[in-house]
């Protein structure tokens, strides 16, 4: 994917309905805002399959919309081919990291696998984007801010 379409980035969480669609939408928004649309391919996926085909969680859609960002697509499950086709696989927490590394150990592929908050300039020692699924709506705003800062850092690092 890197040769014809620029740099490809896949955001990964557990369900692909809360955090990774938000990261995909925010990163795409930043890419578009900077006129870099032709240089990046952006997508998201989940390590679990429970929500395949579903639109993003309404709470993620709401917090994104409050910041002028539309979330595209519907949930899909991470596949071994993704680790061959994407240049960067950016995961939300350490459990995602372990799951993606396990898939990578089995199938290989050139994808570089990193935690999103490695690119958060305000991150402390905990580099997880917490799962907001079972929490209240304020969790989504907190996650949005973390994801936004991290995506800015990621774009700077990749650009
Ligand atoms: P996500 O959140 O990984 O950020 O999409 C979750 C969504 C659904 C579930 C867990 C986490 N679930 O258990 O169904």
- Residues 138-153 pLDDT 10s: 899 999 999 999 999 9
* Test site for ligand 1: of 11, 18, 63, most ligand atoms within 8 A of the Cβ: 18
CATH topology for 7-158 is: Rossmann fold (3.40.50)
Return the C-alpha torsion angle 82, 156, 99, 104, nearest 10. 50
Taking the model in full, what pTM does it have? Answer: 0.96
Q: Please tell me whether residue 12 adopts helix, strand or coil conformation.
A: strand
> Looking at the predicted structure, is the pLDDT value of residue 122 above 90?
yes
* Structure token pair of residue 150: 């991290």
- Residues 79-110 pLDDT 10s: 999 999 999 999 999 999 999 999 999 999 99
Ligand 1 atom having least distance to the Cα of 16: 5
Residue 108 Cα, ligand 1 centroid: separation in angstroms? 26
**pLDDT at site 115:** 98
Residue minimizing CA distance to atom 9 of ligand 1: 15
% of the chain with per-residue pLDDT over 70: 97
13 is catalytic: yes
Domain coordinates in residue numbering, the chain: 7-158
DSSP 14: S
101 is catalytic: no
């Amino acid at each position: 994917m890197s040769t014809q379409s620029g740099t490809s980035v896949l955001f990964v969480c557990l369900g692909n309905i809360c955090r990774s669609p938000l990261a995909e939408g925010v990163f795409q928004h930043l890419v578009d805002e900077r006129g870099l649309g032709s240089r990046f391919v952006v997508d998201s996926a989940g390590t679990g399959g429970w929500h395949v085909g579903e639109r993003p969680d309404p709470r993620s859609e709401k917090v994104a919309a409050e910041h002028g960002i539309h979330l595209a697509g519907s949930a899909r499950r991470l596949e071994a081919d993704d680790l061959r086709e994407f240049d960067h696989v950016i995961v939300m927490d350490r459990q995602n990291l372990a799951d993606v590394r396990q898939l990578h150990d089995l199938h290989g592929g050139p994808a570089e696998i990193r935690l999103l908050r490695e690119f958060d300039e305000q991150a402390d020692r905990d580099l997880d984007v917490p799962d907001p699924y079972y929490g209240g709506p304020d969790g989504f705003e907190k996650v949005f801010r973390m994801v936004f800062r991290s995506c800015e850092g990621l774009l700077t690092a990749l650009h």
